């Protein structure tokens, strides 16, 4: 470790006078509203929960991609010349948004948006249409689907340097990529295979190509989310009774059925960076969170104190890397609308590296021992790919919280 004692002492001296211990967890539920229409849905959240992206209807009942912040509210990101657009993912720092937008010919096109360059058309694989669904932590890698000259949908991986790369299929004529690992190296989605079986979940790497993740006993499956290192994949698969079931896949244990909340169906859409927390919907009406310790819990029960007048959380689509922030869609009884929501669960506390509810010496030591290392992990608290001063400061500023 290259971190010197004198440098550590300087940082500690600068921070210790400003430390304020805030015991307990603050939880909140924010309904994000719409762009003037009657519905909205959140599909992505930044690492610190400050930026949410998704789609909302405007007053003309056109679906539009949005980027939301607490200070600025819901911002319409526009289109590529047509009437409709939708956002599906955001970079860790909230600066890069991806999704699809209609062009002047009303063809869907994958886009990458930044405040500086606004909405960039990422093109196709020779056809007319494309959509983007996932983006790497730094915003450099985008994944989705695009049609080729033959009209077949193929999963793609896009970078500014190489453009749109066709990831192929499992032998059939269609594939779609829904998510990408933090470093952009692992892509997940679904593909048809040579036997004509539709919708088999896949995991793709440059070295291994497209791997069929199988099912839970039925014929179909789709992958929607992937952990930071690409080792854990989540989605849905048919079981032998032809029921949709949320799954969590890992190379060591294969595909695990996450169960339901009493009904026959569930779908998983998002997973935390370390693969330990999964979110989705059960029966299409109950947003859930799953952990190995607690199993599948109904967010409406766990956070009942935040829900008023019959409001309900129906769909959890994404979760922040640390597992603290959950976004999706629910029923806001105050407005009588299906609306995007941002749920701050309050856990883990900022700076709580080991997730034990207390920001203490153990968290400080974990950051110090990992200092200078690269890669997206729990010690990388600001989720920029490097464990450095910024992460150490987060622990110091929140030292003592929850203890």
pLDDT in tens, 241-269: 999 999 999 999 999 999 999 998 999 99
Condensed to tens digits (0 to 9), the pLDDT of residues 329-367 reads 999 999 999 999 999 999 999 999 999 999 999 999 999
**In CATH, what number does 26-344 get?**
2.130.10.10
pLDDT of residue 197: 67
Condensed to tens digits (0 to 9), the pLDDT of residues 97-109 reads 999 999 999 999 9
Q: Is 123 exposed, middle or buried (0-12, 13-18, 19+ CB in 10 A)?
A: middle
Q: Check: CATH 1.10.1330.10 for 1-25+349-403?
A: yes
**Strand residue runs (E) in 122-161:** 126-135, 142-148, 153-159
Compute the average pLDDT of residues 381-393: 96
DSSP code of residue 125: B
Which string of b and e fits 173-189 if b means at least 16 CB within 10 Å?
ebbbbbbbbbbbbbbbb
> Any idea where the domains of the chain sit in the sequence?
1-25+349-403, 26-344
- pTM, full prediction: 0.93
Intrachain domains 1-25+349-403 and 26-344 with the same fold: no
Instruction: Give percent above pLDDT 70 in the chain.
Output: 94
What is the C-alpha to C-alpha distance for residues 66 and 53, in angstroms, rounded to an integer? 6
């Amino acid at each position: 470790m290259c971190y010197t004692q004198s440098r550590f002492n300087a940082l500690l001296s600068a921070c210790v006078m400003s430390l304020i211990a805030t015991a307990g967890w603050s939880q909140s539920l924010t309904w994000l509203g719409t762009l003037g229409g009657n519905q909205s849905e959140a599909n992505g959240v930044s690492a610190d929960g400050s930026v949410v992206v998704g789609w909302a209807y405007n007053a003309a009942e056109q679906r539009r991609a949005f980027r939301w912040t607490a200070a600025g509210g819901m911002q319409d990101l526009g289109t590529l010349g047509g009437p409709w657009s939708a956002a599906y993912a955001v970079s860790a720092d909230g600066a890069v948004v991806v999704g699809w937008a209609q062009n002047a010919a009303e063809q869907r096109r994958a886009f990458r948006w930044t405040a500086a360059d606004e909405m960039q058309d990422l093109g196709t694989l020779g056809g007319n249409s494309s959509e983007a669904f996932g983006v790497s932590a730094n915003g450099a890698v985008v994944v989705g689907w695009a049609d080729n000259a033959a009209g077949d949908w193929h999963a793609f991986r896009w970078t500014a340097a190489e453009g749109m790369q066709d990831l192929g299929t499992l032998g059939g004529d269609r594939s779609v990529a829904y998510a990408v690992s933090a470093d952009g190296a692992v892509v997940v989605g679904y593909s048809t295979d040579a036997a004509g079986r539709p919708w088999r979940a896949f995991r793709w790497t440059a070295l291994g190509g497209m791997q069929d993740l199988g099912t839970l006993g039925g014929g179909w499956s789709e992958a929607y989310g992937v952990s930071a290192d690409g080792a854990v994949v989540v989605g849905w698969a048919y079981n032998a009774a032809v029921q949709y079931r949320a799954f969590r896949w890992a190379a060591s244990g294969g595909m695990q059925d996450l169960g339901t909340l009493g009904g026959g169906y569930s779908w998983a859409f998002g997973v935390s960076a370390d693969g330990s927390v999964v979110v989705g919907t059960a029966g299409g009406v109950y947003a859930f969170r799953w952990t190995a310790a607690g199993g599948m819990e109904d967010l409406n029960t766990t956070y009942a104190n935040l829900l008023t007048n019959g409001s309900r959380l129906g769909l959890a689509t994404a979760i922040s890397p640390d597992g603290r922030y959950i976004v999706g869609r629910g029923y806001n009884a105050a407005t009588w609308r299906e609306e995007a929501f941002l749920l701050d669960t309050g856990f883990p506390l900022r700076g709580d590296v080991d997730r034990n509810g207390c920001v203490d010496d153990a968290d400080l030591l974990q950051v110090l021992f990992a200092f200078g290392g690269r890669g997206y992990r729990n010690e990388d608290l600001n989720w920029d790919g490097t464990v450095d001063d910024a992460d150490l400061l987060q622990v110091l500023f929140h030292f003592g919280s929850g203890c």
